[in-house]
């Protein structure tokens, strides 16, 4: 890899663990030197060596309008000039809360935070406070940020409580989390049959984007909704990634499910740090200062970040926005799959709205085990060849990809052509 990126990476590693401020950026999964970026505009970004890339990461989801959209940048500049933070209420927070509640019928009330991790961590505390129960169900391969209760892997038996998946997470905490297989209705029914009365919440990515992309089976989401209702557990849809990415009504609208709580992030900040959690009034009223569940944040609802989010949410409400995004994302998947097929490469792809999954495997996977069955070496080869050709995909076989409204049909065609050339020489 190029000169300046290499120099920066060496410098970065001196005082930043691994040279990065979030681990997947380090390219450990694919090998090589991470690109340091200096600039982005629309569908493209430029690295420290001056090389330009078509970007299919979009800052891991937030950049649904592409880089540095002029209206979003203007909104940020205007807000910044009026003061960076007050630590007191501002009118733009009301606008944001009203808009989120208008777009998502499942939200009666919403609270803003500064990251997806904070949103999910707070939603779980709230669900525990509301139900007076401790146990939590999550699904293997779903990521909900890095709070302690969620960095948990499956226990030794099928329906036994979990073990920490990270150093520093107390086993005493992990033991409250039951980790089940995604899309497995029978297992979920079994868990509720056994532990129903102690389960505070089920948290789920309604479309998974953190073990590559896994689409939910409708029956799985339906069963989850029914079981939570029946047993008095709080259903938390973690829409930090899917929120306003798969459609204007998020995954809950797409699949016709009403969760009790929803967590948001990424797109609602348009590239600035904004997260949110919200849902039913009787649950949300348990939060301080109204209720006993504590949650707070110095920069929560920060006016500059909220301005970026509001500008973004305004633009994505234009008629046909998500249809066009969905079509382009589908065209990318279809194009890549056709190119692979033409040259006999084992490959499949699928998309939901503006997020997609690429798999070096015959068919798109439905579970964590099937994702693990993808050919990781093939992905790594593809990743580096595409990177060299100026197409930036997530540096891991286990992440979803993102298309933005700034990607043109020509951009997509260019990426498909680059992949075709790579598959031809496979
Ligand atoms: C990204 C993500 C999070 C964590 O959000 P951060 O802003 O990185 O803390 C949580 N849940 C899901 C589904 C995500 O994709």
Q: Say what the pTM is.
A: 0.98
Atom of ligand 1 nearest to the CA of 208: 13
- The tokens describing 103, both together, are 């777009």
265 lines ligand 1 (CB under 6 A): yes
CATH number 1.10.10.200 given to 71-315: no
User: Any catalytic annotation for residue 143?
Assistant: yes
Cα(213) to centroid(ligand 1), Å: 14
Cα(4) to centroid(ligand 1), Å: 30
CA 267, 182, 380 angle in degrees (round to 5)? 70
If you search the block for the tokens 């899917």, which residue do you land on?
242
* Largest pairwise CA distance in the chain: 63
What separation in angstroms does the CA of 235 have from each of 169, 183, 210, 226?
A: 24, 15, 19, 10
pLDDT tens string 31-79: 999 999 999 999 999 999 999 999 999 999 999 999 999 999 999 999 9
Cα(341) to centroid(ligand 1), Å: 34
- Does 2 score more than 70 pLDDT? no
The catalytic position among 47, 55, 181, 238 is: 238
160: alpha, beta or left, given left = phi > 0 and alpha = psi -120 to 50? Answer: beta
Atom of ligand 1 nearest to the CA of 266: 7
If you search the block for the tokens 């939590």, which residue do you land on?
136
- Taking the domain 4-64+319-424, which CATH number applies? 3.90.1150.10
The catalytic position among 266, 328, 368, 411 is: 266
pLDDT tens string 223-238: 999 999 999 999 999 9
- The tokens describing 17, both together, are 């663990």
- Give burial (CB, 10 Å; 0-12/13-18/19+) of 130: buried
* DSSP-based three-state secondary structure for 162: coil
Instruction: Give the separation between CA 274 and CA 93, rounded to whole angstroms.
Output: 11
276 lines ligand 1 (CB under 6 A): no
Domain assignments of the chain as residue spans, ordered by start: 4-64+319-424, 71-315
pLDDT tens string 198-210: 999 999 999 999 9
Q: Mind giving me the DSSP string for 257-303?
A: ---SEEEE-GGGGBTBS-EEEEE-HHHHTTBTTTSSB----TTTT-H
């Amino acid at each position: 890899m190029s000169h300046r990126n290499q120099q920066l990476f060496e410098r970065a590693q001196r005082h930043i663990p691994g040279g990065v401020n979030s681990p997947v950026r380090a390219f450990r999964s694919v090998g090589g030197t991470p690109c340091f970026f200096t600039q982005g505009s629309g569908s493209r970004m430029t690295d420290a060596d001056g090389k330009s890339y078509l970007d299919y990461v979009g800052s891991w989801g937030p950049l649904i309008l592409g880089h540095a959209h002029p209206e979003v940048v203007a909104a940020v500049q205007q807000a910044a000039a009026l003061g960076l933070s007050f630590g007191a209420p501002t009118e733009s927070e009301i606008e944001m809360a009203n808009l989120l509640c208008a777009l998502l019928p499942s939200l009666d009330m919403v609270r803003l935070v500064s990251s997806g991790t904070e949103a999910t961590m707070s939603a779980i505390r709230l669900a525990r406070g509301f139900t007076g129960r401790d146990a939590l169900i999550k699904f293997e391969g779903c990521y909900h940020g890095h709070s302690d209760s969620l960095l948990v892997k499956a226990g030794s038996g099928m329906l036994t409580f979990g073990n920490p998946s990270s150093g520093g997470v107390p086993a005493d905490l992990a033991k409250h989390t039951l980790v089940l297989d995604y899309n497995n209705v029978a297992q979920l029914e079994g868990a509720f049959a056994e532990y129903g009365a102690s389960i505070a919440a089920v948290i789920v990515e309604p479309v998974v984007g953190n073990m590559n992309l896994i689409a939910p089976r409708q029956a799985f989401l339906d069963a989850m909704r029914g079981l939570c209702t029946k047993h008095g557990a709080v259903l938390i849809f973690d829409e930090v990634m899917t929120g306003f990415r798969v459609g204007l009504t998020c995954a809950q609208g797409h699949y016709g499910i009403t969760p009790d709580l929803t967590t948001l992030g990424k797109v609602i900040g348009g590239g600035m740090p904004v997260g949110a959690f919200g849902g039913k009034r009787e649950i949300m009223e348990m939060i301080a200062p109204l209720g006993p569940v504590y949650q707070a944040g110095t920069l929560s609802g920060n006016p500059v970040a909220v301005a970026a989010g509001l500008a973004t949410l305004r633009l994505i409400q234009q008629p046909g926005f998500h249809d066009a995004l969905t079509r382009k994302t589908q065209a990318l998947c279809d194009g890549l799959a056709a190119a692979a097929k033409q040259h006999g490469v084992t490959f499949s792809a699928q998309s939901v709205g503006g997020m997609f999954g690429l798999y070096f495997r015959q068919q798109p996977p439905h579970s964590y085990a099937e994702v693990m069955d993808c050919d990781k070496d093939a992905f790594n080869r593809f990743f580096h060849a595409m990177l060299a050709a100026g197409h930036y995909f997530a540096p891991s076989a286990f992440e979803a990809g993102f298309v933005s409204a700034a990607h043109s049909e020509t951009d997509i065609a260019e990426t498909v052509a680059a992949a075709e050339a790579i598959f031809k020489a496979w």
